[in-house]
């Protein structure tokens, strides 16, 4: 049997096992070990397994992940997410669909101190769904908004996916973070525009809330000051070269903890829960990264990634048409696979193609993240949809998917704008020396 055939069989088995809802990291790691052992020998497979597990879990560069996750958990358990939502509600709640718009704003704010799409969706679903239910919002609109806006967690920095992409492609994580800011703001605005259009077409979806005074709106700024302060510290430190990514994550986590203690908003139980959730989420991410690395080594010796990359690069099409083919492949794959796993598995294949075609690696990273954002809300996997479903409990799954579909329009438009105007992603990184 040829190496290419072995690689294709490995990919087919991987897709089949992923459909059976087995843990992504363990599936990729186990198949990578078996495939490598089959092609070389068992001793080589055991050596690969031991080396990759040790390299990933002892990597200094990856310590940035648990630190940013810890920062987001502290923000949630100290009530920052609630205050963000309250502030957005004061400004937008009186409009028709205002609670849903405020949810988008709060998701964007929380994404700036979270770094995880699942954490953002779960946190905001807990905070916002009871309020939208109380004001008799259509639950398709409500849950779809939370699931879609939660995807901002992997675009607005700090983003775990950007960190992993930067490590895989040896790009500056600080510049990747900067590249995600303007597209993240643009996407949040597009989400709000879609909500506005929906409620204009069907007013029964979202009745307006009570009006607020300008005095209430000015006082509500206190709810976002701390988030802005933390974001400016982290991103400013990276932007001006004061911090490395790991140092910025540590400084952000420490400042979040300090603010929570000063405000007396974090209980001992909340602190312990933050540590527990950080450990669980970080181990999940590291396991997926480890599994993807092991499976990637198996793919490397079968030459399948290189053959596929050569085939795509050799298509008799203009370079933008080839990029559209890559985007389509990502979009299809994202419907069946976790965003982080998708990036880990495919970036080593398509990044060299993007470079050979002359596309900017920072721009390509933002495009990939945007495409995988669509994957976290589209069936059959739609991780964010299942997260919101678990929080909402009494809302049918099909209702959430129905509510998400119109929000995909914003993601499609944002992708098109980024393809036409790449400077949306490249302007801020260009200011970093």
Dist. CA 173–CA 68, nearest whole Å: 13
Residue 78 belongs to some domain of the structure: yes
With a cut of 80, say whether residue 214 has pLDDT above it.
Answer: no
Residue 35 belongs to some domain of the structure: no
Residue 26 belongs to some domain of the structure: no
Higher pLDDT, 195 or 99: 195
Lowest mean pLDDT among 39-53, 198-212, 362-376: 198-212
In 327-402, where do the E strands start and end? none
Residue 137 belongs to some domain of the structure: yes
Check residue 380 and give its pLDDT.
62
In 86-191, where do the E strands start and end? none
Dist. CA 403–CA 259, nearest whole Å: 36
Q: What percent of the chain has pLDDT over 70?
A: 94
Check residue 413 and give its pLDDT.
92
Q: Where does the pLDDT of residue 46 fall: very low under 50, low under 70, confident under 90, or very high at 90 and above?
A: very high
Q: What is the pLDDT of residues 241-262, one digit of tens each?
A: 788 778 888 888 898 898 888 8
pTM greater than 0.95: no
Handedness of CA 245, 250, 251, 252 (dihedral sign): positive
CA 331 to chain centre: 15
Q: Which two tokens stand for residue 176?
A: 């990747």
Dist. CA 375–CA 18, nearest whole Å: 15
Q: What is the mean pLDDT of residues 372-387?
A: 74
Dist. CA 151–CA 279, nearest whole Å: 22
Dist. CA 431–CA 49, nearest whole Å: 41
Residue 120 belongs to what domain range? 61-290+304-430
Residue 412 belongs to some domain of the structure: yes
How does 98-115 read in b/e, with b if 16+ C-beta sit within 10 Å? Answer: bbbbbbbbbbbbbbbbbb
Dist. CA 227–CA 110, nearest whole Å: 8
Q: Where does the pLDDT of residue 67 fall: very low under 50, low under 70, confident under 90, or very high at 90 and above?
A: confident
Q: Where does the pLDDT of residue 225 fall: very low under 50, low under 70, confident under 90, or very high at 90 and above?
A: confident
Check residue 433 and give its pLDDT.
65
Residue 295 belongs to some domain of the structure: no
Residue 45 belongs to some domain of the structure: no
Q: What is the mean pLDDT of residues 157-167?
A: 83
Q: What is the mean pLDDT of residues 159-188?
A: 88
How does 290-304 read in b/e, with b if 16+ C-beta sit within 10 Å? Answer: bbbbbbbbbbebbeb
Cβ-based neighbours of 377, under 8 Å, separated by 6 or more: 147, 148, 151, 384, 385, 404, 407, 408
With a cut of 90, say whether residue 424 has pLDDT above it.
Answer: yes
Write the CA distances from 82 to 117, 137, 224, integer angstroms.
Answer: 17, 19, 10
Provide the number of structural domains found in the chain.
Answer: 1
Write the CA distances from 41 to 12, 28, 196, 305, integer angstroms.
Answer: 22, 18, 60, 21
Dist. CA 306–CA 296, nearest whole Å: 12
CA 32 to chain centre: 25
Helices first, then strands: H and E counts in the chain: 22, 0
Write the CA distances from 123 to 114, 116, 247, integer angstroms.
Answer: 10, 11, 26
Q: Where does the pLDDT of residue 417 fall: very low under 50, low under 70, confident under 90, or very high at 90 and above?
A: very high
CB 186 within 8 Å of CB 165: no
Cβ-based neighbours of 94, under 8 Å, separated by 6 or more: 208, 209, 210, 211, 212
Dist. CA 46–CA 54, nearest whole Å: 12
Check residue 185 and give its pLDDT.
92
CB 159 within 8 Å of CB 115: yes
CB 144 within 8 Å of CB 407: yes
Lowest mean pLDDT among 60-64, 70-74, 346-350, 358-362: 60-64
Q: What is the mean pLDDT of residues 222-233?
A: 77
């Amino acid at each position: 049997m040829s190496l290419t055939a072995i690689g294709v069989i490995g990919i087919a088995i991987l897709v089949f096992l992923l459909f059976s809802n087995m843990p992504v990291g363990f599936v990729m790691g186990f198949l990578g070990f078996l495939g490598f052992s089959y092609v070389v020998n068992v001793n080589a497979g055991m050596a690969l397994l031991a080396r990759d597990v040790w390299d990933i879990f002892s990597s200094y560069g990856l310590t940035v992940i648990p630190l940013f996750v810890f920062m987001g958990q502290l923000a949630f358990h100290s009530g920052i997410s609630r205050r963000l939502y309250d502030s957005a509600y004061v400004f937008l709640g009186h409009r028709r669909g205002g609670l849903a718009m405020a949810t988008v704003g709060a998701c964007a704010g929380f994404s700036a101190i979270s770094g995880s799409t699942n954490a953002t969706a779960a946190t905001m679903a807990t905070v916002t769904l009871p309020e939208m239910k109380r004001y008799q919002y259509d639950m398709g609109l409500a849950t779809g908004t939370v699931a879609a806006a939660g995807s901002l967690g992997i675009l607005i920095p700090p983003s775990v996916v950007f960190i992993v992409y930067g490590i895989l492609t040896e790009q500056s994580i600080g510049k990747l973070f900067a590249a995600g800011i303007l597209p993240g703001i643009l996407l949040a605005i597009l989400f709000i525009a879609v909500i506005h259009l929906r409620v204009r077409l069907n007013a029964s979806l979202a009745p307006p809330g009570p009006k607020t005074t300008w005095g209430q709106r000015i006082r509500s700024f206190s709810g976002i000051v701390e988030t802005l302060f933390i974001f400016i510290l982290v991103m400013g430190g990276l932007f001006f070269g004061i911090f490395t990514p790991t140092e910025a994550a540590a400084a952000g986590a420490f400042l979040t903890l300090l603010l929570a203690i000063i405000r007396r908003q974090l209980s001992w139980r909340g602190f312990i829960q933050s540590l527990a959730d950080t450990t669980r989420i970080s181990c999940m991410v590291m396991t997926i990264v480890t599994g993807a690395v092991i499976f990637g080594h198996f793919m490397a010796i079968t030459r399948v990634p290189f053959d596929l990359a050569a085939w795509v690069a050799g298509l008799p099409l203009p370079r933008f048409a080839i990029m559209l083919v890559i985007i389509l492949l990502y979009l299809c794959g994202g419907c069946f696979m976790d965003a982080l796993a998708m990036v880990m598995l495919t970036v080593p294949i398509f990044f060299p193609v993007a470079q050979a075609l002359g596309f900017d690696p920072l721009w390509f990273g933002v495009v990939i993240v945007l495409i995988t954002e669509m994957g976290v809300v589209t069936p059959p996997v739609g991780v964010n949809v299942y997260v919101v479903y678990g929080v909402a409990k009494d809302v049918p799954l099909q209702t959430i998917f129905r509510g998400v579909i119109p929000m995909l329009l914003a993601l499609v438009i944002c992708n098109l704008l980024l393809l036409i105007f790449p400077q949306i992603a490249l302007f801020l990184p260009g200011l970093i020396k």
